[in-house]
Amino acid sequence: MSHGFTGRIGGLLTAARRHLATLRCVAFDDLLAANRDFASDFAYGGFDGVARAGVAIVTCMDSRIDPLGMIGLKPGDAKIFRNPGGRVTEAALEALVLGVHLLNVQRVLVVPHTRCAVASNSEEVIRDRISESAGVDASWHRFHVVDDQRRALEMDVRKVLSHPLVPDSVEVGGFLYDVDTGLLDRLV
């Protein structure tokens, strides 16, 4: 009798797994269809991966930012590193060092932006919002909010310039991107 119960539970679990697998597939169908359209006239095959324009951009993950378009570049021209707030983190520095020494990067733009959630909320507010959304306490997680964008940008540019593996020949600039006008303002 317990074998029959176990068999039914196993059957339900198998059906549930199949249903979840189907949902997972459907969740990306629109994106996969768009990818097929994109690939139908794909023009970037065969690129060697170097930054043809010699540019690297560190910017925010905000979807209002088109890092290549905002400076008139196209795929293959620049290396792009995105994170919340567009900060020069250890991972960003790692990417920049690789870019400078292996991928033709000669100019680095550090580009936070106006109306950034990371720069307009406190650590506590962000944690509370994440906790509420997740239904789990997020008070232990650090989100690296920025209370002064200009000062943070100055610090980030100095981090790049002072890194022992970034040669003096690399130009580094700090810019603020205005999400309402599309304009860059050089601050550092």
Cite the annotated binding site for Zn(2+) by residue number: 60, 62, 113, 116
Say how far apart CA 144 and CA 32 lie, in whole Å. Answer: 34
Nearest Cα to Cα of residue 139 among 148, 151, 149, 127 = 127
Give the pair of three-digit tokens for residue 113.
Answer: 């932006």
Q: Judging by beta carbons within 10 Å of its beta carbon (0-12, 13-18, 19+), is residue 179 exposed, middle or buried?
A: middle
The amino acid at residue 19 is H
Which amino acids are annotated as binding site, given as ranges? 60, 62, 113, 116
Q: Residue count of the chain, please give it.
A: 188
